Chains A and B, each alone.
Chain A
Amino acid sequence: MKILKKITILLFISALIFNSCSSNDDNPELVIEEEVITTVTVTLTPEAGGTDIVLESVDLDGDGPDAPVVSVSGNLDANTTYNGSIVLLNETESPAENITEEIEELDEEHQFFYSTTSGIATFEYNDTDANGNPIGLDFLLTTSTSAASGTITIILRHLPNKDGENVSDGDITNAGGETDVSVTFSVSVQ
């Protein structure tokens, strides 16, 4: 049967094609992840002088299954104003990459938002971008007059609508954008 013969030839050719197309055995490159934030460090320095309080959240596997490790170095004093500053690191790289610098460079495209529960503190932005809108890497935190326990949540959005209603006052409702960081610390005011 000539047809069978032809099919055989065809299969042979196809086998050749497949062999010639099969990819080489090179291993794929590891992706160097950009824009990864593993570590958020918030340093609160009392305006009147005293010990710094450090709030830290570390998530070395990024969107992996391990939850971030959160630590708070101590309690805040009541009725006190702190100078706050935020440092973001990518510790998957060695040495660690300082993401804060990238945010400073692209400050018009970033904004931090702060919130608390139990009214333990109020916040005020202490930096601005070229358009006069807040960024939030530096801020002032004023604790409540009476002792209380609650949480402080810090959210970073990229590409927010900074001109949205009340956004420059620190209200996240109309900010839009995508969330880069959302960390919560349990804090006591004494």
Chain B
Amino acid sequence: MKYYALLIACVIYNLANAQECTSKLSGKVNDFHDGSNIIGAILHIKELDIYTTTDLDGGFVFQNLCDGKITVTISHVGCDTKELDVVIKGDTQFKINLEHHIEQLNEVTVNGHLVGKQSKTSQETLLKTKDLELFSSGSLGDVLKKVSGVSSLNTGSTIVKPVINGLHSSRVIVMTNGVRLQDQEWGVEHAPNIDINASGSISVIKGSGALAYGGDAIGGVVVLNSSPTILKDSLYGKTIVSGQTNGRGFSLSSSLYKTYATGWYINGQATTKYYGDFKAADYSLTNTGLKSNGFSIHTGYKSFEKGFNIYYSYLNNEIAILESSHIGNAEDLINAINTQQPLVIDDFSYNIGFPKQDVTHQLIKADFYKRFKKFGKLKVQYDFQNNQRYEYDLRIGEDRFKPAIDLTLKTHSIKTDLKLDSNIGNTYEIGLSGSSQNNFANPDTGVRRLIPDYDKYDFGVFLLSDFTLNKNVFLDFGVRYDFNKYDAKKFYKISRWEELGYDADFSNLIIDEQSTQYLTNPIFEYHNISASAGVAYNLNTNSKLIANYSLSSRAPNPSELFSDGLHHSAARIELGDLRISQEKSNRVSASYIYNTSVLNLSFETFYNHIDNYILIEPTDTEQTIRGEFLVWEYKQTNASLFGVDLDVHYQYNKHWFASNKSSIVKGHDISKDRPLIDMPSFKTVNALSYSNKKWWHFNSELQSELVLAQNEYPNNNFEVYIPTTDEFELLDISTPPPTYHLLHFNSDITLNISQKTNLNIGLRITNILNTSYREYLNRLRYFADDLGRNIMLQLKLNY
């Protein structure tokens, strides 16, 4: 611990006065982590162009040097090359600590998050910059669907939530730049507020094994990393512009990086998107446009021993929602479903009318890290997020421009973690985190709050360790404790309070009575334990087996506890339940991975047993003056999910490739012995690719996407009395849409404009045959078809 100054040379001067050009420079080179001698490091004096290497003790010596200032570079296989200015005055000694874990360091850089690769024994897939650039105009949910086993829960085509192995919303943690995104992710129609253009790569970790991010990721973790900073004097950037026929819009994203060899860096990035009404195969989807503007700034200092980062991002999305999807009561829903076409079909327009969402997310983060010799790395981070969500319904008169939902969510978080990596082959990591969150529901909306005002406090502590037993066996273990506390203030209609039986169970929560409502103050605390254990075993040089067990528990989210009211977009009354407790997941997974230059194969399977699984299901109908409505209530059951994800990539020769991605998940409600609602159906994507470097790096790919109808679903259909006809009619909200098959085509070439500048031109056609289809996991499937053909041209300039 005495060697606080990192990676520096400690120069000791020999007091003896020497004659010119007879001085000696000697010293030792040691490993930064464990102090071991580094053998065979090459030292080079730039001015004299002379070399020497270190001996078995890590020692070196240069003879016959002149006094004065020289520059020495030290390099070694697997190490960062170091450059040091040294003043020679007589015989000079010199001690150098070299970072010898460059391979591990690289992993940290590739994964880019605070704790390195968390998931050597989890099912992790990395999407690289090239994959993300292809989806520059799309959303996070769109790009994640490239990963086998990841699907999406959509509200139209622009609100896309990732679904990992059948689970979504609060069960999926999204980490951006080391910050856990807090953007009211509990809502099924709330998409993550992420501009994928701000990310360099994305890791998808299935299951809750990555405990450093949280103990409640029953579905998985999505980790967005910024592009790694290159430590050299450089100025570079890229611009991606794309235009597309469907939505008649464009997307423009530009970024600029300035880096210095000294370790300082600054970069900025901005994206704008503008789309009008999208189009299904046969008709225009009136009021489905999108306006999105975002930017981010990232600066800091980075060296191996220490560094800091400051990051700010802003993103505003104004998203129109299909006008025909906002209806009235159950009868209107039956009519909408039976009509099989939206009631309102107008000509194309760029106008974003009502209903719409207008969401602004701001994030600021500062972190600092420092490595201690022969010890480890300490990191401290603070972040603040402000999420402002407005949702507009179809209202009239003066209320027309007034939001029906106006929520401000503010989250402060602080966390620290300490990684002990001085023992080769064995690391420990301890982390602490705390956050304080405030939700404010503005009463000026004139609509009863769906989500109440609340304060939430979280505290987490975790311990992770891994062991490399030998070159073929790697083990990791983790344990985590989380504490969550809600302190909410919520109005309940007295009739509802009594109907839910709260007068018997929660009468102590009432703090006031106004008009026909109680003001209540629910304060709930949850203690959660999660744990993970995994093994990675190399069968031979080409194949390995990975197995992981993880236990996780998740406290209910505000929507599950407090929802109470009419949800216009769904024509239903949604009710939370104060009695809901944590859900607890036990998940086991196993993967087989085979990699050769010809064939890459990954076969992943999992079984997830969830006790007290929280779900929302229709339970009843209620008569109001607006007509009859379905009541959807949050409830708990025991559930199991089982699934298989397959990813095969076969290289026939240097031009032709073929690939397949398939996934299936089976969800079962154990308590009721029936299928779980909203489970993704079987999907298989086959692709045939041709590449030729001689033709301006030409790539092309024809893709076939087959999604089978979900034939396992719970029957939640209701008979609804239709007063106008005096008959009962079936409200079929359960039957999934039929099987569909889509063809897509991708192609691109790259032109070198100058040594440092290249231009990539891409053409992408989705749904080539303009097929009409509906997707089970699109909440607007009752009202309209999904998107028709889209032709997109994308230009990417790297400079």
Contacts and interface: CB of A to CB of B under 8 A. Distances in A.
Interface string B405-416: 000000010101
A80 to B, nearest CB: 22
Given A7-B416, A18-B457, A65-B499, A106 B326 contact: no
Contact of B432 (A11, A115, A157): A11
A44 interface: no
B397 A65 contact: no
Given A28-B452, A153-B724, A179 B418 contact: no
A180 B573 CA distance: 15
B102 interface: no
B769 interface: no
A130 interface: no
Given A7-B418, A18-B434, A28-B441, A65 B449 contact: no
B166 to A, nearest CB: 31
B447 A30 contact: no
Interface string A1-38: 01100110011011001100111000111111111011
B44 interface: no
Contacts of A13: 414
A162 interface: no
B347 interface: no
B622 interface: yes
A65 B327 CA distance: 20
A168 interface: no
A30 B446 contact: no
Contacts, number: 171
Nearest to B344: A176
A30 B517 contact: yes
Nearest to B417: A7
B396 A34 contact: no
Contacts of A174: 343
B28 interface: no
Size range of the chain A interface in the assembly: 35 or more
B328 A33 contact: no
B566 interface: yes
B420 to A, nearest CB: 10
Interface stretch (B176-184, B194-202, B507-515, B523-531): B507-515
A34 B399 CA distance: 9
Contacts of A173: 335
Interface residues of B, number: 69
Contacts of B372: 3
Interface in B680-727: 723-726
B446 A32 contact: yes
B35 interface: no
Contact of A181 (B344, B443, B625): B625
Given A17-B412, A115-B724, A176-B343, A28 B495 contact: no
Given A31-B445, A33-B447, A40-B625, A179 B514 contact: no
Nearest to A58: B625
A183 interface: yes
Nearest to A68: B625
B6 interface: no
A65 B500 CA distance: 9
B515 A38 contact: no
Contacts of A151: 723, 726
Contacts of A11: 432, 434
A169 B579 CA distance: 50
Interface string A77-111: 00000000000000010000000001001100110
A180 B495 CA distance: 21
B394 A159 contact: yes
B343 A63 contact: no
Contacts of B785: none
Contacts of A115: 723-724
Interface string B1-21: 100000000000000000000
B565 A63 contact: yes
Nearest to B430: A7
B329 interface: yes
Contacts of B447: 31, 33-34
A63 B397 contact: no
B349 interface: no
Contacts of A22: 436, 455
A53 interface: no
A62 B511 contact: no
Contacts of B396: 35, 106, 109-110, 158-159
B626 A63 contact: yes
A59 B344 contact: no
Contacts of A6: 378
A6 to B, nearest CB: 7
A7 B379 CA distance: 10
A38 B625 contact: yes
B457 A67 contact: no
Nearest to A102: B397
A45 to B, nearest CB: 23
B626 A66 contact: no
B324 interface: yes
Given A17-B414, A30-B514, A68-B624, A176 B445 contact: no
Contacts of A118: 726
B378 A157 contact: no
Of the listed residues B418, B496, B514, B624, the one surrounded by the most CB atoms of chain A closer than 10 A to its CB is B624
B90 to A, nearest CB: 36
B493 A61 contact: yes
Interface in B335-354: 335, 343-344
Interface in B482-503: 489, 491, 493, 495-496, 499
Given A27-B511, A178-B568, 12 more contacts: A3-B375, A28-B441, A37-B625, A60-B516, A64-B499, A115-B724, A150-B726, A151-B726, A159-B396, A178-B393, A179-B627, A180-B328
23 contacts: A6-B378, A7-B418, A11-B434, A17-B436, A18-B412, A27-B489, A28-B449, A28-B452, A31-B446, A32-B446, A34-B447, A35-B395, A59-B624, A62-B493, A109-B396, A110-B396, A117-B723, A117-B725, A155-B724, A161-B344, A176-B324, A178-B327, A182-B625
